C-alpha cells in the first residue's frame, strides 16, 4: 500500500510549526500505524533528515504514551483503540493521511507530534490517591466489595491517561480523565473516606491548569481508547456538588 502523509512538524515549543508532506510506499496491510511511521523515520534518517518525533512506548494500547490526531480523530479511525493499535488495512490504498499533535492549551507541543501532558500528573497529585501508608492496611478480604461496584470501579480505572479526552473535546476539558479517577476510587469503600476532598482538590487543580469546561458533548467518550463513559462525569459532578453543599 502507498500513502501520502501530511505531518505536523515543529522544531520546539517556541517555534511555529507547519505541515510537511511525505510519501511512504510498499507498506504491508498488516503493518501497524506506528510501524509505518518507523519506516518513514528510517527513510528520513537515511536521507540525513530529522525523523518525526512522536510519543510511543508499549505498542499494546496500555501505556498511554502514544497520541496523534489522525485524519481528524484522536487515536485515528478505530473505536476503542489507541494509535499503536491501528493497522494500515484500516486506510484506503493511496490515501492522504493528516497527522497532528494533540491540540489543547494545557498540552503544549514539545516537538513535532510530541506534547507535554504533565498537567494530568499534576491533577492526580492533587488528590487522585487513597492516603494509606505502606503496610498499615487490613487484610485484603476484610471489606467485601459488591462485584458490581468493583466492576464499575475497574471500568473507570481502565483510563490510560493518554489525553485523548481533552485533546478531542472542543472545550479542551479534562473532565473525563478527572472523572475516571474520582469515580474509580469513589466506588470503593477504601476510596470513600476521602472522596469529597479528592473531588474538590482535583477539580480545583483541573481549573487552575487551564482546562476548559465540560459541555456534555460526549466527544470524549466517543474518542476514548478505553471507551470510558461520561457516566463517570455525572458521578464526579454529584461528588463535587454534594461536597460543596456540605461545606
Touching another protein, residues 1-60 (CB under 8 A): 6, 12, 17, 19, 28, 30-32, 34-35, 38-39, 42, 44-46, 48-51, 53, 55-60
Provide DSSP, 163-176.
SHHHHH-TT---HH
Indicate the helix (H) or strand (E) that contains 82: none
What CA–CA distance (Å, rounded) separates 209 from 203? 10
Binding flag, residue 104, another protein (CB under 8 A): yes
CB atoms within 10 A of CB 103: 14
Q: How far is the CB of 237 from another protein (least distance, A)?
A: 4
Among 5, 7, 68, 85, binds another protein (CB under 8 A): 85
Residues 127-156 that bind another protein (CB under 8 A): 127-135, 137-141, 144-147, 150-151, 153-154
Residues 60-79 that bind another protein (CB under 8 A): 60-65, 69, 71-73, 78-79
Binding flag, residue 183, another protein (CB under 8 A): no
User: Toward another protein, which CB reaches closer, 94 or 142?
Assistant: 142
Q: How far is the CB of 124 from another protein (least distance, A)?
A: 5
Q: How far is the CB of 191 from another protein (least distance, A)?
A: 5
Backbone angles phi, psi at 30, to 5 degrees: -85, 0
Binding flag, residue 225, another protein (CB under 8 A): no
Residue with cell 496500555: 62
Binding flag, residue 95, another protein (CB under 8 A): no
Residues linked to residue 70 through DSSP beta bridges, in sequence order? 73, 99
Describe the crossing of helices 118-125 and 175-186 by its angle, rounded to 10 degrees.
Answer: 30
Binding flag, residue 195, another protein (CB under 8 A): no
User: Toward another protein, which CB reaches closer, 22 or 85?
Assistant: 85
Provide DSSP, 3-57.
EEEEEEE-SSSSSPPEEEEEEE-S--TTSBHHHHHHHHHHHHHHTTPPPPP----
User: Toward another protein, which CB reaches closer, 30 or 94?
Assistant: 30
Backbone angles phi, psi at 116, to 5 degrees: -95, 115
Residues 161-180 that bind another protein (CB under 8 A): 161, 168, 170-173
CA torsion angle for 174, 178, 183, 188 (degrees, to 10)?
160
User: Toward another protein, which CB reaches closer, 94 or 245?
Assistant: 245
Q: Which three cell numbers stand for residue 170?
A: 472542543
Size of interface with another protein, in residues (CB under 8 A): 132
Q: How far is the CB of 2 from another protein (least distance, A)?
A: 14
Residues linked to residue 24 through DSSP beta bridges, in sequence order? 3
Amino acid at each position: 500500500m502507498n500513502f501520502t502523509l501530511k505531518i505536523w512538524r515543529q522544531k520546539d515549543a517556541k517555534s511555529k510549526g507547519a505541515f510537511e508532506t511525505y510519501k511512504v510506499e510498499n507498506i504491508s496491510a498488516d503493518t501497524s500505524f506506528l510501524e509505518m511511521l518507523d519506516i518513514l523515520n528510517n527513510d528520513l534518517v537515511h536521507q540525513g533528515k530529522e525523523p518525526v518525533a512522536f510519543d510511543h512506548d508499549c505498542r499494546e494500547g496500555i501505556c498511554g504514551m502514544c497520541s496523534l490526531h489522525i485524519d481528524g480523530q484522536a487515536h485515528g479511525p478505530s473505536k476503542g483503540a489507541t494509535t499503536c493499535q491501528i493497522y494500515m488495512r484500516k486506510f484506503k490504498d493511496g490515501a492522504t493521511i493528516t497527522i497532528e499533535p494533540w491540540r489543547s492549551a494545557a498540552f503544549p507541543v514539545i516537538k513535532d507530534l510530541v506534547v507535554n501532558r504533565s498537567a494530568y500528573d499534576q491533577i492526580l497529585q492533587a488528590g487522585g490517591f487513597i492516603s494509606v501508608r505502606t503496610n498499615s492496611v487490613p487484610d485484603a478480604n476484610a471489606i467485601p466489595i459488591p462485584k458490581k461496584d468493583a466492576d464499575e470501579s475497574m471500568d473507570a480505572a481502565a483510563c490510560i491517561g493518554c489525553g485523548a479526552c481533552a485533546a478531542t473535546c472542543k472545550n479542551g476539558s479534562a473532565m473525563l480523565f478527572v472523572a475516571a479517577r474520582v469515580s474509580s476510587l469513589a466506588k470503593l469503600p477504601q476510596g470513600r473516606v476521602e472522596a469529597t476532598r479528592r473531588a474538590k482538590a482535583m477539580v480545583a487543580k483541573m481549573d487552575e491548569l487551564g482546562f476548559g469546561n465540560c459541555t456534555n458533548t460526549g466527544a470524549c467518550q466517543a474518542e476514548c481508547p478505553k471507551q470510558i463513559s461520561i457516566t463517570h462525569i455525572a458521578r464526579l459532578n454529584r461528588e463535587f456538588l454534594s461536597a460543596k453543599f456540605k461545606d
